[in-house]
Amino acid sequence: MHDLIIRGAQVYDGLGNPPQCADVTIDAGRVSGIGSTREAARETVDAGGLALMPGIVDLHTHYDAQITWDRSMSPSPALGVTTAVMGNCGFGIAPCPAQLRETMMKNLSVVEGMDLTALLTGVRWEFETFAEYMTQLRRIGPYLNTAVFAGHSVIRTTVMGEAASERATPTATELDAMRRLVREAMDAGAIGFASSFSPNHSGFAGRPMPSTIAGDDELRALTRVLGEVGRGVFMSATGPRATPAVMESIAAENGRPAFISTVLTMYNEAAPERAMTYYEACAAAQDRGHEVVILSNCQPLSFDFTLDDPYVMLSHSAFDAIKGLDRAGRKAVYADASFRARFRADLAQPKPGIIFLGNWERIEVSIATLPRNKACEGQSIAALARARGCDAVDLFCDLALEEDLATHFLGKFFQNDDDGVAPLLKHRAGVITLSDAGAHLIYMCDAGFGLHFLGHWVRDTGHFELAEGIRRITSDPARRFRIPERGRLAVGAPADLLLFDPARVGISRPRVVADLPGGGSRTVRDPRGVHGVWVNGIKVHDGTDYARLTHGPGAVLDRFEI
């Protein structure tokens, strides 16, 4: 008797082949048969012609802290994801000496838009080393198959303490210690090494995240460990500093693939040709035998924010004046004409790699707290400024001040034009992923990128056939990150499965839930057209709710292909 049979599904293998109508049998967490069977099972699901595919592989998440209090890693399982990679951009929580826990959490709360109270009260600290963290993950039992990066900022903080955000050059002893920690993480099963040079990555009280002030020599010394051990991938939030040429040189030096994440590779109406130059540069590197790949975002990059917590604006130098101030101090800065003049000057000559480039049509009022301002909701700052005959910067600041900095703004910054985005998603130099799931919970939730891709880019716009679309979010990302077996539906493969209705698949609008430790709120989305998600043969979500499991079925991944 089989453990599970899913009968009468349109089976997509994740490799791009045409579907077949078949029964799929699952035993001991793996696919044991694909065809027609009359045999019995302990559980049978009648698919009724729905599509059955491998679970979505999400290469860019930030569940490092959340997983210690929430083994479900919500909302990703609800949204079709069965494998997730954490620790991207070099921001995580392991290794971490006990005396640096608060420092690590404060930085993480700002750079990844997380609730600080939730981090300080929710994280279960049963580890100090990376290996101990991996052991804790196995005890927890995550719902998803989970891989973890060794992180540059984490390791720099572990070695240098508070000085990691203050001193650009480590001592020789400190650099040796960092290299040793990278190697220890790799030996403990890290998927690779991750870093960030992004100007958008600021830490607590405006201090830079440690990796962003590190020199090129330090980065190369640490990535060299991958070449020395002969395995692992390198991922970086590159900003304008780590150009495709720099990333290619690192890939060439170590013989390991290098992955780029930056808004510079996203379609931007202010510089519509720029993103494609990155893709073409990476394709040229690949043609030279150096694997440099862009993590591609298939959703518009939108942020909900306030001027009390203006994450998306912090890379503008004018906002240096508010860093470390309380609300009263921030309000005084926003009211100052000299601040507004500096902000206008920043927008007139924006630095490369920042999020907001000055188009006030792309920022609208999302939530106004005063009844007299409710009519502003849904209108852009540009439209409101025109209607009132005033400057957009003045209106932006004055409205926020009037509402004690509680006004919510929605910024629609990148990837917001299908005609501009489609060529990027189809380009051979990119891999479709980049959800940032688990991060920026105050502002957004892009954890459903895969369902959005199937609904929008496959069904609604027809840019991809369904079989190819499924390949692009399953076996292709698994192959790129050297994750064995995942992302394919084949006999003998792990039974990571998503059952869905292609005519309905998609995601809901964002909604806010107050379910974080300490009572904090976050933004989530719900699935549309999902009928079941299985990880290693165990159902984790039925399309409506999570399975209540005391130990999840996800594997803590620690062995990867060369």
Kindly report, residue by residue over 33-56, the tens digit of the pLDDT: 999 999 999 999 999 999 999 999
Rg from Cα positions in the chain: 23
* Separation between Cα atoms, residue 258 and residue 291, nearest integer Å: 6
Instruction: Give the mean pLDDT of the chain.
Output: 95
Closest CA to 527 of 543, 550, 547: 543
- For residue 413, the model assigns a pLDDT of 83
Kindly report, residue by residue over 128-141, the tens digit of the pLDDT: 999 999 999 999 99
| C-alpha dist (Å) from residue 224 to 171, 180, 234 | 18, 12, 10
Pairing label, strands 233-237, 192-196:
parallel
Helix or strand run (H / E) with residue 56: strand 56-58
Kindly report, residue by residue over 432-463, the tens digit of the pLDDT: 998 999 998 877 789 999 999 999 999 999 99
Average pLDDT for 473-484: 98
Kindly report, residue by residue over 426-436, the tens digit of the pLDDT: 999 999 998 99
* Separation between Cα atoms, residue 319 and residue 489, nearest integer Å: 49
The amino acid that residue 122 corresponds to is G
State the residue for tokens 């609904």: 455
* Separation between Cα atoms, residue 83 and residue 487, nearest integer Å: 8
Is the pLDDT reported for residue 211 higher than 80? yes
Within the chain, which residue ranges are assigned CATH 3.20.20.140? 56-300+415-447
| C-alpha dist (Å) from residue 218 to 153, 223, 246 | 12, 9, 14
Closest CA to 75 of 446, 463, 532, 491: 446
- For residue 206, the model assigns a pLDDT of 82
Kindly report, residue by residue over 320-350, the tens digit of the pLDDT: 999 889 999 999 999 999 999 999 999 999 8
The amino acid that residue 216 corresponds to is D
Number of H helices, E strands in the chain: 16, 24
CATH number of the domain at 56-300+415-447, please?
Answer: 3.20.20.140
Closest CA to 402 of 335, 340, 339, 344: 335
- For residue 50, the model assigns a pLDDT of 98
Instruction: Confirm if 15 and 56 have CB atoms less than 8 A apart.
Output: no
Kindly report, residue by residue over 405-434, the tens digit of the pLDDT: 999 898 888 898 999 999 999 999 999 998
* Separation between Cα atoms, residue 258 and residue 235, nearest integer Å: 6
Q: Whole-model pTM above 0.85?
A: yes
Instruction: Confirm if 560 and 232 have CB atoms less than 8 A apart.
Output: yes
- For residue 412, the model assigns a pLDDT of 83
* Separation between Cα atoms, residue 559 and residue 170, nearest integer Å: 31
5 pLDDT tier (thresholds 50, 70, 90):
very high
25 pLDDT tier (thresholds 50, 70, 90):
very high
Rounded to 5 degrees, φ, ψ at 259 are: -120, 135
State the residue for tokens 């394709």: 283
Closest CA to 533 of 82, 60, 35, 17: 82
Rounded to 10 degrees, the C-alpha dihedral 157/159/161/167 comes to -80
